[in-house]
Every structure is written in structure tokens, then in C-alpha cells.
Structure 1
Amino acid sequence: MAGLDIAFFGSSLVSAYWNGAATYYRGIIRALAGRGHRVTFYEPDAYDRQQHRDMADPPWARVVVYPATEDGMQQALEAARDADVVVKASGVGVFDDELAAGVLDVRRPDGLAVYWDVDAPATLSEIAADPKARLRALLPMYDLVLTYGGGPPVVRAFTALGAQVCVPVYNAHDPETHHPVPFDPRFASDLTFLGNRLPDREERVERFFLDAAARLPEQRFLLGGNGWHDKPMPANVSALGHVYTADHNALNCSAKAVLNISRSSMADMGYSPATRVFEAAAAGACLITDAWVGIDRFLEPDTEILVAADGAEVAEHLAALSPERARAIGEAARRRVLAHHTYDHRAVLVEALLSGATVASLGLAEGV
């Protein structure tokens, strides 16, 4: 298909600071650019993200940083009026409802408006709690709803809200960005977890990570991400604070195992592999994940990933894990994600949907 002009309104492309969707945006947009599409990413100057950039404006997208004001938002929307496709991502953080309506207003008569949800369980929970939620009335007006996870439950929920088409576009990795690197003593550990401190994550971090650390006092645990500096934790846990994306490969390659902990809403929904699952696997890390429905759609338990129901099982996996088995699991996971879970794979799906392919023709009736 001919290259499309895509206007994308999201939280931030150039900063991962309090912005877990950044690497997802980067992977998808870079892969779309590689297929000949032209993307302009509009992001508000908010939450100190511009002061904590971890990349310069990339050659594969045009970045427009607009003032986090109503006037700044309106000017950005007007600039997007000529695009073939206008995308509103969830969780921009500033004027989200107004942007959701504004994207529909600037859609060309022959163009597409896409609502792209990067935290579908949270969005669905908010809509369920508020019958007057503005997004509830807007969703049926979008040509397409994309989500970065959730599988059949999310597809059913958005369809029930009137979405014309809903398709998960799962997290993945970019092989040029996520790959094995040498061991870095700064990040040496037996188990590492990376994730910002959020209300629906903290209890699960206590249950899966801090409990495991307390059970294995002789082993070293690293906790990366914002917000953990004043969290009480066992003496064998070190809090790293924000870890810039340039260090993610070294972080993943310097631990015996890397832990994935889903936020409670995503674990409850299932089919929601975090971006870091694929990024860590691409680096050859041995992954341990909390249990959620649908894991086996992405990685094979016990062969490509270890699954734990609680901190006790995390500790059991870690205590029994030899360096040789950890390496074998990491290598198997890396083979799997290279074969099936790159952003190039996801971009092929997105391109097909934007060109008018139906869900049934793509074999996506089950939402995966």
C-alpha cells in the first residue's frame, strides 16, 4: 500500500520518564516508518518528560512537543488535520477527553480515526465506574480501536461499548534496540525487576518480588523504576531509581533472572504481556513471570519462561535455577521472540488494518 501520513497523539516518544508506553510507541512507529509510512508524533510538554529525555528526535518520526495547555492542544490538532490517519493514544495525561473528541473532529472525510489504548484494563475500569464517561460516547465514532494487550476479554469489552473494530496489537521488541550485551557489574543480581511504583502494581511487587527477597536473604535483588526510594524492603534489595532505556539491555543481561510482574488489572484481564517481557527475552534473559491467562500464546512455560503464582514460587524457581538452565531458558525465549514477536510483525498487522483488511480475513476473530 502507498505510504500513509499518520498523526499520533501520545504521552511521549522521546522520554520514558513515568511513561512505560514509550518503547512500545518507538517500536511500532519505527517499524511503520520502515514500511514507508510517515508519522508525526504529538506530545505535550508535561510531567518533566522533556527534562528527562532518553533519546533525541529520531530520523523515523517527526516529533512535535506542544504546550500542555488547551490552546497548545488545539494548535496540535489543527496541524494534524491533513493526515490520512489520526491516532489518539490513551493516557496522554493532559486533556485526554478533549483530545479524544478533537481527533474525531480533525479526521478527514476520507481518513481514519484510531483510538489506541495502551492500558485497556484501566480504561475499561474507568468507563465501567462512570456511566457518563466522555470516552464511552466517543468510542463508537472511531474507525478502529487498537490495544496493546488484553486478548478476547478486551475485544469483547470494547465491542460491547460500541467499538466498530477492536484488535490487540501486542507488545514486542526491536532487534536493533533490544539484544544481548556484555555483563555490567552495576546491574549484577540474582533477580531484577523494573517497573514504576503504581497503586495497582505495588501490592503485587510486595507479593512476588519483596516476599521472594525475604525468603532468599543470601541472594541479591535489584528493583528499578521511579517511586521506590522510600519503600521499606529487605536488606538484600537495592532500589536503582529510574533506569534509562539505554541501560535496559545491560540490566537484563546482568541478572541470573528477570522478573515480570503485571499490574493487577492486566493480570486479571490476561493476555497482557508487558513490553519488558519481549525486551528482556530479546536480550536473552531468563524470565520469571507472575501467572496470568494467555502466557502460553507468547512463550512456552518451563521452556522459554518460568511462571510463578506468588513470591514463594518465585523463590523456589530462583533457588533451583542454575546458570546453565537460566541461559538455556533465555536462549530459547530469544529464538521465539525473534521468530514471532518483533515490531515488524506488529507493523504488518497494523498496516493491514489501516488498509481495510477485516478481522476475519486476518484470522483474528479470537482477539489474538
Structure 2
Amino acid sequence: MKIAFYGSSLVSAYWNGAATYYRGLLRALAEKGYDITFYEPDVYDRQKNRDIDPPEWCRVVVYDGTIDALKTVAARAGEADIVVKASGVGFEDDLLLDEVLRAARPSALKTFWDVDAPATLGELRASPDHPLRQALSAIDLVLTYGGGDPVVNAYRSLGARDCIPIYNALDPMTHHPVAADTRFAADLGFLGNRLPDREARVEHFFLEPAARLPSTNFLLGGSGWSDKPMADNVNYIGHVSTRDHNAFNVTPKAVLNISRASMAENGFSPATRVFEAAGAGACLITDYWEGIELFLKPDEEVLVARDGQDVVDVLAGLTTERAQLIGRKSLDRVLADHTYASRAVTVDAIFRAHAAQRMEAAE
């Protein structure tokens, strides 16, 4: 089956947290025989900051950030059996959704893939005339980056025919154990861009513990933090290329996952970073969110902190030996239960079930 996928970017992770998710899932679907074309706009300097070349397993079509170019690529939806419009494409999202739905064949499976459900649902609740809310009746399927029952029930209450979470996972080809790198030496590392929905939690879970542990070394990676006040024991290194994520994860004694506020409040929304770190064999400390035990076992495969004091306490009692043991167990768990290959089995079954239903309805 042919998939026309309209998303933010497949070839650039620059200010594009969904890149890892797209790459892992679409590669795994391609291995199952899907013929995929990914359409992405040339915006936000992503094309100037590519971190991969267009892959062999997916055609990538980059279009100019103009209305005419958008309409041209949207018309290509008419060639596909499955049409996917993702959230957060970054250029005229509402118009793109309208044009893609208009171009799609009546027999095509029309899917909205939400990679930031809490934010999207907040917009839909606040605006009864939101274009996406109005379009839900014409969309066959909503897939989400995470969220569990709260997100599923919310989408259905707004008129979605069906909503199914497809959680983040590990792509062992890109995230795996590597040798330590002295550039990333630290007791605790955190990697994340500065975002309004995350900043206060980074202060609470990372910067405040750093100030309280002056003899402990903290490592901060990600864009936007250069003017942020921080203790002298915090080494801020700026943007970290995806090529270095494995080394960033395995070198510190432990690494920290800090969910955006909306994700933490919603629960059942493990970030890509959770699986990237586990896949590299890192000892991961994560802020608490409902559902963590569905993915990794607390105290054995992951360490959980409910506040900054917990981070301080965990670091005070964490030996190198225990950190390494947790990293090995987390790696074993994600390889067994949480790869994109296993997620693709689920997506494939969903697509085929919906395709069969549409064929039956047409008879």
C-alpha cells in the first residue's frame, strides 16, 4: 500500500522532536512492504540543519514554504492508499489538512497523526470552530504519539471515529550502546530544548538540584539555554547533534528525562528520549508521570523522581555499579518490548483492519 505522509521533517531533527518517531515507525513500516512518500516544508532552517540524508526506505519531497507549493504536494495525496496528515507540520497546517482531505481518493484511509496530543486537544477544546475539529468527521482514524485513555476519550468526545495511541519506541539501528565520550562526562546529563512548557520543570528537576549539589557535575545540552542562570557546576554545551545522542546518553553516570508539563499531566506519554536513553544502555532518571510502569519497571529499569529533592536523593545514593545495572536492564526491556518494529506490527494491523472495513462497506 502507498502512504502519503505530510509531517514536519524526516531528514532534520532541528527543532523537530518528532523526527526520531517518524524515522523509527516509517522505516519499520517500509520493511513491512509499505511504499512511503514523506512531504515536508522548507521552514525553520531545518533543511540547513539536516542530520540524515533522504533514506532508501522512503521518498522525501521537500517543498517551498509557499501556498502554491503546498497545494501542489497536497494534490499528490490522490495517489495514495493511506493519507496521513501529522500535527505540527509548521506551515499552514489548517490549509494543508483541508487540501489533503480534498485530494484524497474516497477509498483512501484518511489519518490524522497527532505527535502532541495535549497541545492539540487544548486548542480544539478552546475553539469549537477549529478546522481540525470540524474535519474530524471526515477523518477515518486518529493515531497519537501517546496519551492512553484520557487522549482517546477526549478525541472521541470531539467527534473522532477512532483514536489509537502508538507510543514512542526504540530503533536499535540508530540508538544503541557506544563508547563513552569525555565531552559528555558528568554525574547527571539532561538533553532538551528550552520550551515554555518545559522550562519550569527543568528548573525544578535539574537546575535547582545542581545548585544544591555543588560538588556534583551536571551536563546540559539543547538549544535556547545560553542566557539561563545556572550554577557553576552545570556545563552547558548547546545543541547536540543526533549523531552524538548515544554518546551523550552513555557517558554520564545517569541521564534525566523531564517531560513537558502537558505530557506529564496527561500521563501515558513517554518521550522519545526515554527509549533513546534506554536503547543506549543509560541509567535513566525520569520525572514521574502516570503509566511509566507500562514501559519500564521503576527502581529496576528506571529511576523515578517526583520532585527536585528526589533527584538530589537519587544522585546521592547512586553508585556506578547500580547505574550500570539499571542501564543493562532497561536496554534488555526496550529491545524485548518497545521497538519500532513491534509498533509497526500494531500500525500495520490497524491499517489493514480499516482497509478491510472500507472494502466491506463499498460492496
Within 1, Cα distance between the matches of 2:306 and 2:157? 31
Choose which of 307, 310, 315 in structure 2 pairs with 1:318.
315
Choose which of 220, 244, 250 in structure 1 pairs with 2:241.
244
The amino acid across from 1:82 in the alignment is E
Identify the residue that residue 134 of structure 1 maps to in structure 2. Answer: 131
- What are the residue-to-residue correspondences of 1:262-277 with 2, within 5 Å? 262-277=259-274
Give, in angstroms, the shift of residue 167 of structure 1. 0.4
Choose which of 280, 290, 294 in structure 2 pairs with 1:297.
294
Identify the residue that residue 192 of structure 1 maps to in structure 2. Answer: 189
Aligned partners of 1:140 and 1:161 also within 8 Å: no
Give, in angstroms, the shift of residue 170 of structure 1. 0.2
TM-score normalised to structure 1 length: 0.95
CA-based RMSD? 1.0
Alignment partner of 1:123 is 2:114:
no
Which moved further from structure 2: 233-242 or 26-35? 233-242
Within 1, Cα distance between the matches of 2:246 and 2:136? 37
- What are the residue-to-residue correspondences of 1:1-368 with 2, within 5 Å? 4-356=1-353
Within 2, Cα distance between the matches of 1:234 and 1:325? 27
Q: How many residues align?
A: 355
1:189 alignment partner, SS class? coil
Give, in angstroms, the shift of residue 260 of structure 1. 0.4
1:11 alignment partner, SS class? coil
2:290 alignment partner, SS class? coil
Q: Which runs of 4+ in 1 moved over 6 A?
A: none
1:14 alignment partner, SS class? coil
Within 1, Cα distance between the matches of 2:99 and 2:135? 10
Give, in angstroms, the shift of residue 140 of structure 1. 2.3
Residues 125-152 of structure 1 show CA distances to partners (whole Å, capped at 9, x for unaligned) of: 1111222211111122111100010011
Aligned partners of 1:172 and 1:346 also within 8 Å: yes
Aligned partners of 2:109 and 2:354 also within 8 Å: no
TM-score normalised to structure 2 length: 0.96
Give, in angstroms, the shift of residue 357 of structure 1. 5.8
Within 2, Cα distance between the matches of 1:80 and 1:317? 50
Within 2, Cα distance between the matches of 1:283 and 1:61? 25
Residues 35-72 of structure 1 show CA distances to partners (whole Å, capped at 9, x for unaligned) of: 11111000000000000000111111100000111111
The amino acid across from 1:114 in the alignment is T
Within 1, Cα distance between the matches of 2:354 and 2:346? 9
The amino acid across from 1:39 in the alignment is I
Residues 287-314 of structure 1 show CA distances to partners (whole Å, capped at 9, x for unaligned) of: 1010110000100000100111111101
Within 2, Cα distance between the matches of 1:257 and 1:51? 32
Give, in angstroms, the shift of residue 356 of structure 1. 1.3
Within 1, Cα distance between the matches of 2:352 and 2:134? 25
Within 2, Cα distance between the matches of 1:326 and 1:72? 50
Residues 202-244 of structure 1 show CA distances to partners (whole Å, capped at 9, x for unaligned) of: 0000010101111111111111111111111111112221111
Aligned partners of 2:75 and 2:99 also within 8 Å: no
Aligned partners of 1:103 and 1:113 also within 8 Å: no
Q: Evaluate the alpha carbon distance shift between residue 357 and residue 74 of structure 1 in structure 2; reply closer, same or farther with a 3 A threshold.
A: closer
Give, in angstroms, the shift of residue 107 of structure 1. 1.5
Residues 312-335 of structure 1 show CA distances to partners (whole Å, capped at 9, x for unaligned) of: 101110111000000111111111
Within 2, Cα distance between the matches of 1:326 and 1:249? 16
The amino acid across from 1:86 in the alignment is V
Which moved further from structure 2: 192-201 or 127-136? 127-136
Give, in angstroms, the shift of residue 109 of structure 1. 1.5
Within 1, Cα distance between the matches of 2:187 and 2:126? 41
